[in-house]
């Protein structure tokens, strides 16, 4: 229950705008990059509950009052301070309420549109990635950097990261690598790419739409999307296999799968070392990634890898329940408080991890501490049915969906014997010529297929 003071603070930091049948939450803590406090997440929770029940609300929008940051995370400095001062219930209440909000967004009974303009990290990812519509701008910067503060990727990352293409989610969760702008669309984090200058007009359009129909909202957003970049753009990333795509990880996408497919951190680091020692365009990336991971908490790395492997098999409810257990156990650790102090308080980036390297982390002890035994869990949101895949898909097709069409395993596409032209035609028809579909399908086919034995048909290259 919010105190009067907390409610007043929350309402100052999370503004509520009502216009026609649209409702907008505006994060309003710009000096702190909209990092979330307990009163803020409590206020967001209350707005979501009220608007879901309101007959006057058709669509909910989330945005920031600043182009610099949508939300750069949770206020973990305060959480750490509360825990160490003995206010452990207060510290856990932040995570419990935050995860309830994240889970409610994932299971909301009305359309939610998140406008990603600026830094979208940690807690900001939790407010957006579970929504059916995630609109990224050129200013959007995504990251899950929790292993660098001795924590783990939370806010539902247990569920959403393993469901990105291949091992991309594991790579992002372990390294905290940033993605920018159109990267979010091609990685599957955003569903649409709309330049920042069009966001206000898009918000007005959705406010006046007068419907909760998801298809209608998707088509309205599509009115504002930008054309994919071409090779003449100054922001263009490059060409892979003679196929242009504006995705910063395009040239190392297959190498990510090769290096991050293993179930131990030691094997991943060894794979990165082998790639780094080989001549080729991926060598520099592999060395940089190896160095990135060496900066992270060794116990966080091992915890995160196991968390994400398990998350691939969990439903949305169980994923959040696991995170609540992990958060409390991690607050009991040395590394979380040391990492927060080093990076966010002292700002020296010189955390003294314990254990100090991955070889010193006893994996059996880690399993026992974080994953074994009975843990008390409470349902996060009772008004929903758990699911193992997001119910709404308005982004680009996944790599697996594309390859399933080629191999004949997609019931919507028919049998075997698909030519390049037929595959492209299928996806452009199914996605109604959505911006970015042609580029991604073309790119995936160039990497993962080859000509078969007859008639120009394609077959999947075994990885």
Do β-strands 243-244 and 239-240 pair in parallel, antiparallel, or remain unpaired?
antiparallel
Distance CA 156, CA 321 (A): 10
Q: How far is CA 286 from CA 146, 277, 282, 291, in A?
A: 21, 9, 6, 9
Q: Exactly one of 10, 22, 123, 181 is catalytic; name it.
A: 123
Annotated catalytic residue 210: no
Which among 58, 117, 146, 203 is annotated as catalytic?
Answer: 146
Buried b (16+ CB within 10 A) or exposed e, 54-83: eeebbbbbbbbebbebbbbbbbbbbbbbbb
Nearest Cα to Cα of residue 141 among 154, 128, 159: 128
**Is 74 noted as a catalytic residue in this protein?**
yes
How are the residues of the chain apportioned to helix, strand and coil, as percentages rounded to the nearest 5? 50, 10, 40
Q: 234: which DSSP letter?
A: T
Q: Which of 22, 73, 74, 173 is catalytic?
A: 74
CB 130 within 8 A of CB 77: no
Is 154 known to be catalytic?
yes
As a dihedral over the C-alpha atoms of residue 8, residue 10, residue 13, residue 15, rounded to 10 degrees, the angle is -80
Phi/psi zone of residue 384: left (φ > 0), alpha (ψ -120 to 50 degrees), beta? beta
Say if strands 239-240 and 112-116 run parallel, antiparallel, or are unpaired.
unpaired
Our answer to whether residue 146 is catalytic in this structure is yes
Instruction: Find the helix or strand (DSSP H, E) in which 449 lies.
Output: strand 449-451
Residues 365 and 363: their CA atoms lie apart, in Å, by: 5
Do you find a cis peptide bond into 355, omega within 30 degrees of 0?
A: yes
Distance CA 180, CA 198 (A): 18
Given the structure tokens 């100090």, which residue do they identify?
356
Active site residues: 74, 123, 146, 154
């Amino acid at each position: 229950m919010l105190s009067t003071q907390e409610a007043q603070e929350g309402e100052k930091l999370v503004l509520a705008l009502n216009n026609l049948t649209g409702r907008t939450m505006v994060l309003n803590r710009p000096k702190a990059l909209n990092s979330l406090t307990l009163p803020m997440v409590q206020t967001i929770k209350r707005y979501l509950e009220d608007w879901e029940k309101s007959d006057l609300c058709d669509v909910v929008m989330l945005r920031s009052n600043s182009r610099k940051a949508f939300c750069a995370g949770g206020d973990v400095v305060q959480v750490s301070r509360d825990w160490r001062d003995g206010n452990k219930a207060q510290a856990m209440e932040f995570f419990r309420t935050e995860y309830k909000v994240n889970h409610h967004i994932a299971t909301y009974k009305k359309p939610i549109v998140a406008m990603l303009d600026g830094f979208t990290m940690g807690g900001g990812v939790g407010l957006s990635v579970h929504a059916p519509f995630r609109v990224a701008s050129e200013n959007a910067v995504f990251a899950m950097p929790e292993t660098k503060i001795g924590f783990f990727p939370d806010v539902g990352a247990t569920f959403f990261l393993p469901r990105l293409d291949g091992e991309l989610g594991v790579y992002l969760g372990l390294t905290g690598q940033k993605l920018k702008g159109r990267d979010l669309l091609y990685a599957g984090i955003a569903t649409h790419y709309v330049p920042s200058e069009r966001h206000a007009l898009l918000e007005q359009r959705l406010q006046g739409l007068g419907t909760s129909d998801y298809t209608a909202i998707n088509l309205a957003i599509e009115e504002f999307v930008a054309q994919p970049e071409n090779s003449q753009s100054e922001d263009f990333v490059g060409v892979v296999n003679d196929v242009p795509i504006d995705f910063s990880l395009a040239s190392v996408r297959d190498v990510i799968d090769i290096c991050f497919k293993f179930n131990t951190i030691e094997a991943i680091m060894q794979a990165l070392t082998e790639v780094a020692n080989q001549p080729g365009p991926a060598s520099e990336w592999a060395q940089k990634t190896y160095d990135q991971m060496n900066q992270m908490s060794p116990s966080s790395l091992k915890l995160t890898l196991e968390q994400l492997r398990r998350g691939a098999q969990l439903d949305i409810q169980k994923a959040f329940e696991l995170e609540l257990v992990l958060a409390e156990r991690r607050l009991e650790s040395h590394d979380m408080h040391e990492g927060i102090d080093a990076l966010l308080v002292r700002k020296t980036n010189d955390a003294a991890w314990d254990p100090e390297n991955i070889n010193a982390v006893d994996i059996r002890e880690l399993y026992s501490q974080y994953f074994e035994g009975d843990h008390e869990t409470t349902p996060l949101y009772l008004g929903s049915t758990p699911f193992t895949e997001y119910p709404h898909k308005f982004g680009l097709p996944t790599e697996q969906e594309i390859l399933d069409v080629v191999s004949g395993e997609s019931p919507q596409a028919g049998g075997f014997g698909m030519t390049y032209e037929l595959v492209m035609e299928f996806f452009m028809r199914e996605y109604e010529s959505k911006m970015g579909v042609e580029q991604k399908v073309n790119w995936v086919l160039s990497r993962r297929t080859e000509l078969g034995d007859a008639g120009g048909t394609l077959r999947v290259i075994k990885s």
